[in-house]
A = this chain, B = another copy of it.
Amino acid sequence: MNDTKKPTAPAPNARFVRRVPDGDTTERFVCGDCGHIYYTNPKIVVGSVVTCGDRILMCRRAIEPRKGFWTLPAGYLEEHETPEDGARREAREEALCDIVLDGLLAVYSIPRLSQVQLMYRARLDTEQYGAGTESLETKLFSWDDIPWTEIAFPSVHWALNHWRAIKDERVFAPFANPPGQNGNFPNAA
């Protein structure tokens, strides 16, 4: 893994230079010709811990990164989409199911990736699901059967454990990253 904080580059374009625009305090990509400022911003991931009865829905990734490993239905929020709509869309795309959201479980951040993750608690009211094009397979796991050694990302560990901590609570405050963890692999729970 590369842990340096590389700025996300704009589209390949030789005219862009990296400098602090007038009146700003942060270095940006600025067009050397016209002064256009290309703002790069953190990205939002939306996803869910989805349960059907006591079992948790997981997807085995059909794509890189971490192809073949297990994850939760989650992905990038699209433009003009609410986070709730995005979480439902990701479950439809990756697990071919319609979920009912039931509270914001966590707001995680992975500063190295400039990623903020909004993870919801959700449920399946009927046992109807399948593998979308980004999933090799989808499956409902009881807690003890979760493939803990084949989890795709640290934040999947976090979300599963945080879900378990409040699974019987009606009202709860969303979790943040576990103390000292930044989402990089060396810190994986």
Contacts and interface: CB of A to CB of B under 8 A. Distances in A.
Interface of A: 5, 7-8, 10-13, 16, 26, 29, 31, 34, 36, 38-44, 76-84, 103-104, 107, 109, 111-112, 114, 116, 118, 171-174, 176-177
Contacts of A107: 83, 104, 107, 118
B172 A174 contact: no
Contacts of A177: 82
Nearest to A109: B82
Given A40-B79, A78-B26, A82-B111, A173 B104 contact: yes
Contacts of A78: 26, 41-42
Contacts of A83: 107, 109, 116
Nearest to A41: B43
A11 B38 contact: yes
Which 7 pairs across A and B sit closest by C-beta, in order of nearness? A82-B109, A79-B114, A80-B111, A41-B43, A11-B38, A5-B80, A42-B77
Given A42-B44, A173-B103, A10 B12 contact: no
A43 B177 CA distance: 21
Contacts of A84: 176
Contacts of A173: 103-104, 171-174
Contacts of A44: 41-42, 44, 116
25 contacts: A5-B79, A10-B10, A10-B11, A11-B38, A12-B34, A26-B78, A39-B76, A40-B79, A41-B43, A41-B76, A41-B78, A41-B79, A42-B44, A42-B80, A44-B44, A44-B116, A79-B114, A82-B111, A82-B177, A83-B109, A83-B116, A104-B104, A107-B118, A116-B118, A173-B173
A86 to B, nearest CB: 9
